[in-house]
Structure 1
Amino acid sequence: MSTIVRVTVWNEFRHEQENDKVRNLYPQGIHHALASYLEKVGFNMKTATLDQPEHGLTTEVLDQTDVLIWWGHKAHHEVQDEIVARVQQKVLDGMGLIVLHSAHFSKIFKTLMGTTCDLKWREAGEKERLWVVRPGHPIVEGIGEYIEIVKEEMYGEFFDIPQPDELIFVSWFEGGEVFRSGCTYYRGNGRIFYFRPGHETYPTYYHPQVLKVIENACRWAAPVSTTKPTFGNYKPLEPLHRL
């Protein structure tokens, strides 16, 4: 019998309250749009936002989270370092982390990557085509050779991230740029997936294939039941024969 994966969607929830265009697209917030879809496909869902106490990421909430989805943009600096350290430890202990779009600049992603995570960008409503470069990976189950998004923000190389453990998607943009848009990482016992699409002024999080990728990523990133490694001074398993 399979266990239901517990997912928490974290969102700044600032653009939706301050920008009419974003509010009209996501009247209850990006977090609600994602959580509504994921609940329908069988996940146990929670949401959390920046302005809640402890940003909604209390120890109790994280203890009941198998996979954390993170969307942030304009208020990365407002996330408390104490909460970042808490989330980082949970990832190292085995919690999955899905980092979406502009959360490449989030404190938690930069902490786990150890680099600036900087890139080129342009908001011009151009076509994006995300090519699957790792066919057969669980994250692209049910996805064809590519995903096409009619209007999106451009992100371009060089993307200052560590070499991905697995490169899943490479994007091409109408203006000519390319970008590593789907990257997996393993940190401690945790699995991380960075997925590029999702600018707040476009309806990307209603795109069926984008949602399917996020669904697949949640299943892939969920903790695996295994024996945790032992560290420190260790007694030998076999007798030591000394001369």
Structure 2
Amino acid sequence: MSDPLRVTVWNEFRHERERDDVKAVYPDGIHAELARGLAAPDLKIRTATLDEPEHGLTEAVLDETDVLTWWGHMAHKEVKDEIVTRVQERVLAGMGLVVLHSGHEAKIFQRLMGTTCSLLWREAGERELLWNLAPHHPVTAGVGDCIDLPAAEMYGERFDIPEPESLLFVSWFAGGNVFRSGATWTRGNGRIVYFRPGHETYPMYRNPQILRVIGNAVRWTAPRAAAAVPKSKNDAPRIAIPGYEQPEKYRTEG
């Protein structure tokens, strides 16, 4: 039996402490709800929050993390750049990253995407139909053709992200907007999934289909094999080619 995947569920944990309407939905915090909802024998889950030392993402914690999930909203700018760089380096080395809902504006997601990740939004409690575009992809397995959400915050196009490697879900909202609600990318050796549902005043993280997608994403983004991030050209090994002598202007010492 293989060792369980080590998952760190990261959350700002600000709304739940400062707003009664959010506390009513997630009294223990979104991170605690996700940790309960994702609990499984093959996952070893820990949580981390913004106001812990080093945002709970110390070197030791990240060294023991195979996949990081990220939920943020009101305090993106408070995340220290050195922690963002630390997480980025881990992703490039192979750690999985699952970015949820308003995490689209997180520093780490914007840095890895290289774009603003901006979008349209409307908080009106609209019905959402979340259509599964890739039913054979591991992240969408077992969720059916569509997830019907009776009340959700609208996210709408244009969503300023680079072209996804796989587009998993597209949402239709009762107000007429559509949105690319699930997508994947690779950066270095790390896999990234963005999945939109999850506003702080809607109990999305108790929905079995939503939790199924997030659990699938965690397992799919897990490191596949130990591999080094490609080195720069200056560090590349020299290859001897029979009968070829390198021109003098390209020769270096060593």
TM-score by length of 2: 0.92
Partner of 1:181: 181
Per-residue deviation, 1:38: 1.6
- Structure 1, residues 75-114: CA drift from partner, whole Å, max 9, x if none? 0010000000000000000000000000100000000011
| Inter-partner Cα distance in structure 1 for 2:109 and 2:4 | 26
Equivalent position to 1:235, from 235, 238, 241:
238
| Inter-partner Cα distance in structure 2 for 1:103 and 1:192 | 12
| Inter-partner Cα distance in structure 2 for 1:42 and 1:36 | 14
| Inter-partner Cα distance in structure 1 for 2:244 and 2:200 | 67
Counterpart of 1:35, as a letter, is A
* Alignment RMSD (CA, Å): 1.3
Partner of 2:33: 33
| Inter-partner Cα distance in structure 1 for 2:111 and 2:238 | 34
Partner of 2:52: 52
| Inter-partner Cα distance in structure 2 for 1:106 and 1:229 | 23
Per-residue deviation, 1:143: 1.1
Partner of 2:8: 8
Partner of 1:85: 85
| Inter-partner Cα distance in structure 2 for 1:52 and 1:208 | 30
Q: Give unmatched runs, 5+ long, in structure 1.
A: none
| Inter-partner Cα distance in structure 2 for 1:226 and 1:154 | 39
Per-residue deviation, 1:229: 5.5
Per-residue deviation, 1:2: 2.6
Partner of 1:62: 62
Per-residue deviation, 1:226: 4.3
| Inter-partner Cα distance in structure 2 for 1:35 and 1:101 | 16
Per-residue deviation, 1:230: 5.0
Per-residue deviation, 1:241: 2.9
**Aligned: 1:216 with 2:219:** no
Where 2:159 maps in the other structure, the secondary structure is coil
Counterpart of 2:57, as a letter, is L
**Aligned: 1:204 with 2:207:** no
| Inter-partner Cα distance in structure 1 for 2:206 and 2:39 | 14
Partner of 2:194: 194
Partner of 1:99: 99
| Inter-partner Cα distance in structure 1 for 2:152 and 2:205 | 11
| Inter-partner Cα distance in structure 1 for 2:117 and 2:227 | 32
**Aligned: 1:149 with 2:149:** yes
Per-residue deviation, 1:233: 2.4
Partner of 1:115: 115
| Inter-partner Cα distance in structure 1 for 2:114 and 2:188 | 14
Per-residue deviation, 1:181: 0.3
Partner of 1:166: 166
Counterpart of 1:207, as a letter, is N
Per-residue deviation, 1:148: 1.0
TM-score by length of 1: 0.96
Q: In 2 relative to 1, CA 134–79 (structure 1 residues): closer, same or farther, beyond 3 Å?
A: same
Counterpart of 1:28, as a letter, is D
| Inter-partner Cα distance in structure 2 for 1:230 and 1:196 | 31
| Inter-partner Cα distance in structure 2 for 1:219 and 1:124 | 33
**Worse-superposed segment, 140-149 or 152-161:** 140-149
Counterpart of 2:115, as a letter, is T
Where 1:40 maps in the other structure, the secondary structure is coil
Q: Give unmatched runs, 5+ long, in structure 2.
A: 246-254
Contact 2:12/2:49 (CA < 8 Å) preserved in 1? yes
Q: In 2 relative to 1, CA 58–140 (structure 1 residues): closer, same or farther, beyond 3 Å?
A: same
Where 2:103 maps in the other structure, the secondary structure is helix
- Structure 1, residues 43-94: CA drift from partner, whole Å, max 9, x if none? 1011000000000000000000000000000000100000000000000000
Per-residue deviation, 1:134: 1.2
Q: In 2 relative to 1, CA 112–229 (structure 1 residues): closer, same or farther, beyond 3 Å?
A: closer
| Inter-partner Cα distance in structure 2 for 1:66 and 1:99 | 14
Paired positions, count: 242
